[in-house]
Amino acid sequence: MKRTLVTGGAGFIGSHLVEALIEQKRKVLVFDNFSTGKFENIPNSELVHVVKGDISDKSQVENLFKKYQFDTVFHLAAVASVAKSVENPEETHKTNFDGTLYLLQESVKQGVVRFIFASSAAVYGDLPGLPKKETDPVKPLTPYAVDKYASERYVINAYELYGLKTTALRFFNVFGPRQDPSSPYSGVISIFVDRVIRNLKGEDVSITIFGDGNQTRDFIFVKDVVKALLLVERSYEAVGKVFNTGTGKATSLLNLLDYLAKIAGKLPPIHFEPPRKGDIKHSLADISELKKIGFSPSFTVEEGLKLLFEWELKHKD
Ligand code: NAD
Ligand code: UD2
């Protein structure tokens, strides 16, 4: 039986994908350098084999494909922090662009069946017009977004040029268990839930809202992202295409806090600060293309928040 490769499988989203693949009784290989991923994120199962390695090292990627045969490659490994990509564009480019190219080349050579790439809504930048359609113009504003967009084009073109059956998903704002709340640039939901729980446990913490709190995002629960990844893998219509991956619904930060107050019963003090430089006010996906091939999200933001809150309560000491 061939294995399914998950690059970045020790990370936030990757580890949820690995969990779902195990449920399908598939043999999984996680390739990860553990820069932000954690070993304990990976489900403990005899179906999972973990190889520590770096996608930006061409010979390591070549050796991986020499040693193992893959049916599908889910390529999620990346320096996922936009702030890091701005600080260190050369280093992050090696992972976020070169790494994608090496994986594509080896996948073509080996003849893998499907190649799915984790792109980002960041490719749209700050151009006006909502909700975003896949055919809308892009404006990648950071090294992270430029590398995602360039990788996406290489991924999609690999179908026409070499016959590799590829798909790219532009994830919007993903949230859920195992998202790291430790940086000020972590996903806002991971930060809010962390503060709410620490406050409940008696710590002296507060929540900061940059701007007026009316900014909106298309927050998607991580299990729905996994659902989309597995759906496009099975869909012939998804081959050679890019899909927005969100819920198609906008939620403001103030909405999030209302939900959390209901779920937790109590919120920490809230401070308002000026909007962050470069922040966009609204972001929203048009998901009609993904819907056409059978996608519908299973979780509302409120349901996802409740699950995340309960998970964090159990796992935070
Ligand atoms: P994450 O940081 O938790 O996961 C990334 C994983 O890649 C980590 O396990 C890390 O150790 C690994 N990695 C990094 N560089 C590597 C390298 N050179 N070689 C091997 N492994 C390497 O981030 P995440 O939020 O789970 O993101 C997963 C993917 O989804 C990324 O490609 C990210 O850009 C994309 N994405 C995420 C979001 C979001 O809201 N979280 C939004 C849009 C796109
Ligand atoms: C996401 C990405 C970012 C970049 C951007 C491109 C994440 C975590 N961030 O940023 O890297 O790709 O999309 O458009 O994937 N906020 C607060 N208080 C906090 C933290 C955040 O008010 O403690 C605000 C923040 O200023 C923003 C909103 O919450 O207005 C959402 O922030 P985010 O970083 O979760 O997501 P986003 O879409 O701004």
Average per-residue pLDDT in the chain? 98
Q: Among the atoms of ligand 2, which is closest to the Cα of residue 211?
A: 22
The region that residue 26 occupies, defined by phi over 0 for left and psi between -120 and 50 for alpha, beta otherwise, is beta
Q: How confident is the model at residue 316 (pLDDT cuts 50, 70, 90)?
A: confident
Note if 185 is an active site residue: no
For the residues of 31-97, what is the DSSP string, one character each?
EE--SS--GGGS---TTEEEEE--TT-HHHHHHHHHH--EEEEEE--S---HHHHHH-HHHHHIIII
Tell me, what's the pLDDT at 1? 83
Tell me, what's the pLDDT at 317? 67
> pLDDT by residue (tens digit) across 209-234?
999 999 999 999 999 999 999 999 99
C-alpha span between 120 and 35 (Å, rounded): 20
Stated pTM of the model: 0.98
Interval 74-102 mean pLDDT: 98
Interval 267-283 mean pLDDT: 97
Q: Among the atoms of ligand 2, which is closest to the Cα of residue 275?
A: 26
Closest C-alpha to ligand 2, atom 28: 188
Closest C-alpha to ligand 2, atom 12: 122
> pLDDT by residue (tens digit) across 281-307?
999 999 999 999 999 999 999 999 999
Structure tokens that stand for 183 in this block: 């940086």
- Residue of 144, 149, 154, 259 with catalytic role: 144
Percent over 90 (pLDDT), the chain: 98
Name beta bridge partners: 167: 116, 241
Percent over 70 (pLDDT), the chain: 100
Cα 190 to averaged position of ligand 2 atoms, centre (Å):
11
Flag whether pLDDT at 23 surpasses 70. yes
